[in-house]
Amino acid sequence: MADFPDRFTGLTGFEWDEGNSEKNWHAHGITRAEAEQAFFNRPVLVADDLKHAQTEPRFLLLGHTDADRPLFVAFTIRGSRIRVISARVMNRKERRWYGEALKAEAEADS
């Protein structure tokens, strides 16, 4: 969990849809910069989003901003870029999953 999954190596940046970017800001108060920070701050938890992957692979990320704001980010990969679909603050259930994963990792490291 400490490193971004190997299958995402070689990505070169982010691609933003203006509508999604505006939605994230107006509905959730999340800026583009904050959403991107969640990909670089460790630890990060990434999973396949099978429920929403109808036309292309989708992924879910649990991470945090530079200011330790816990974020949930839904995204896909377009070519060599990450395309953020949605970003918001983690809900209670997601914060619990993230905390449990951190605890399990700490126990495995000790």
Burial (0-12, 13-18, 19+ Cβ within 10 Å), 30: buried
* Amino acid 1: pLDDT: 38
Give the span between the Cα atoms of 75 and 83, in whole angstroms: 6
Length of the chain: 110
* Amino acid 5: pLDDT: 64
The pTM assigned to this predicted structure is 0.87
* Amino acid 6: pLDDT: 72
Provide block-wise average pLDDT over 10 residues at a time, the chain (110 residues): 65 90 92 95 88 84 96 95 96 94 85
